[in-house]
């Protein structure tokens, strides 16, 4: 059975896109290259030999893709077979934003021509008043903020009052943070469903996000892994045409669950890894996974050393054993959905090219250079599966 596996390394960009300044990225972000320079290099031999690092601008004698004979996959008969490696960079075309929804939609063939609304001054008062009336309580915040910083600033007041914290970012998001001991998780999810109903044009934010947290002011507040996303419904796309897609991590949420088989929601790279092995044992033709710790835990916190360690761990614990499990009829694609340069002056996503690597049966190394559109991913998947 032919099978396609698309793994997204969330936030691992490959250099400033030509329109980066339109997205307020004025310092030429380049996630992989700047990360490499900031930490003095990191050890990711599998990403190196597949050309993923080279696509990100990291070039040294020991980081070039290997000769064809050194990358092999296991056939059904257990024999070692040659693999064809294709690598390059993809230029984002969608104007909707520099975020996960826009990036994943574009991979599946949806290019958004107009930017989704953002709120650098906070949400309009009428929208907040309507939201407060519907949920029956006041809110706190209503401003752009780092998620970790705003719960540090307002967490204690939230615990005292029970008022949910509402905030946004440089992306088109309406985020609601509540302490799990103060607001039950299902109540928080209901708040998000209400916000999703209210956020219609012209306030059609791309995503409403539940941001639960725990802890105390004295010991520190910490976000939990029960985040949940409520995006706008996407237009018809490749996921709909394939259907029964095995989504891992946030991916099904980004498409409103449409076209995905029901599986449990995983919330960290470690959990995604476990689910990836389960997906490989399933009968799914298309496995679509997002590993977000690079972005969520390190990019947004400007933690370059942590980001580098996370890449090393992914290379060692996920990619190395995964490559050994590839079958003769498999197509593996590695890419990213946007940048998140941890050396950047802000903690926001960055508008960047993304790496693209395809591994399939065959021989040779192919440098694709720069290609237009993340939909290249969907084109390869569709062609491989005959869709």
Q: How confident is the model at residue 59 (pLDDT cuts 50, 70, 90)?
A: confident
Residue 115: what pLDDT?
87
Pick the closest to residue 110 from 236, 7, 4 (CA basis): 236
Q: Where are the domains of the chain?
A: 3-116+232-385, 125-230
Residue of 171 and 44 predicted with greater confidence: 44
Q: Are 273 and 290 in contact (CB under 8 A)?
A: no
Residue 135: what pLDDT?
97
Q: What is the mean pLDDT of the chain?
A: 92
Give the CATH class of 3-116+232-385.
alpha beta
Q: Global pTM?
A: 0.85
Residue 75: what pLDDT?
39
Q: Are 209 and 192 in contact (CB under 8 A)?
A: yes
Torsion sign over Cα 156, 161, 165, 166: negative
Pick the closest to residue 25 from 325, 335, 253, 341 (CA basis): 341
Q: Work out whether strand 80-91 and strand 140-144 pair parallel, antiparallel, or are unpaired.
A: unpaired
Least confident of 71-85, 124-138, 364-378: 71-85
Tell me the pLDDT tens digit for each residue of 276-296. Answer: 999 999 999 999 999 999 999
Q: How confident is the model at residue 171 (pLDDT cuts 50, 70, 90)?
A: confident
The superfamily CATH assigns to domain 125-230 is Phosphopentomutase (3.30.70.1250)
């Amino acid at each position: 059975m032919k099978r396609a596996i698309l793994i997204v390394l969330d936030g691992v960009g490959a250099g400033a896109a030509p329109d980066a300044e339109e997205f307020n990225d004025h310092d030429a972000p380049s996630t992989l290259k700047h990360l490499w320079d900031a930490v003095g290099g990191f050890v990711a031999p599998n990403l190196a030999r597949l050309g993923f690092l080279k696509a990100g601008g990291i070039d040294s004698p020991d980081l070039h893709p290997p000769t064809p004979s050194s990358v092999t996959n296991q056939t059904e008969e257990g024999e070692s077979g040659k693999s064809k490696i294709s690598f390059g960079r993809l230029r984002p075309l969608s104007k909707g934003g520099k975020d996960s929804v826009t990036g994943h939609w574009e991979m599946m063939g949806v290019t958004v021509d107009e930017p989704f609304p953002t709120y650098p001054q906070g949400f309009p008062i009428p929208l907040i008043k309507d939201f407060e009336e519907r949920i029956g309580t006041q809110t706190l915040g209503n401003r752009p903020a780092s998620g970790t910083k705003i719960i540090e600033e307002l967490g204690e007041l939230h615990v005292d009052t029970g008022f949910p914290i509402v905030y946004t970012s440089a992306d088109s998001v309406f985020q609601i943070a509540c302490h799990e001991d103060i607001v039950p998780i299902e109540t928080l999810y209901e708040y998000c469903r209400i916000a999703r109903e209210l956020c219609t044009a012209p306030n059609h934010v791309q995503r409403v996000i539940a941001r639960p947290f725990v802890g105390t002011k004295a010991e520190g507040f910490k976000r939990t892994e029960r985040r949940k996303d409520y995006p706008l419904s996407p237009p018809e796309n490749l996921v709909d045409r394939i259907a029964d897609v095995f989504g891992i991590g946030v991916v099904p949420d980004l498409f409103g669950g449409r076209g995905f088989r029901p599986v449990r929601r995983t919330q960290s790279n470690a959990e995604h890894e476990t689910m990836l092995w389960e997906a490989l044992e399933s009968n799914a033709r298309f496995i679509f996974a997002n590993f977000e710790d690079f972005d969520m835990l390190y990019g947004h916190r400007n933690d370059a050393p942590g980001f580098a360690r996370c890449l090393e761990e992914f290379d060692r614990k996920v990619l190395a054993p995964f490559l050994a499990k590839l079958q003769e009829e498999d197509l593996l694609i590695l890419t990213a959905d946007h940048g998140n340069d941890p050396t950047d002056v802000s903690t926001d996503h960055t508008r960047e090219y993304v790496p693209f690597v395809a591994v399939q049966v065959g021989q040779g190394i192919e440098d694709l250079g720069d290609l237009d559109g993340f939909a290249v991913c969907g084109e390869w998947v569709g062609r491989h599966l005959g869709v």
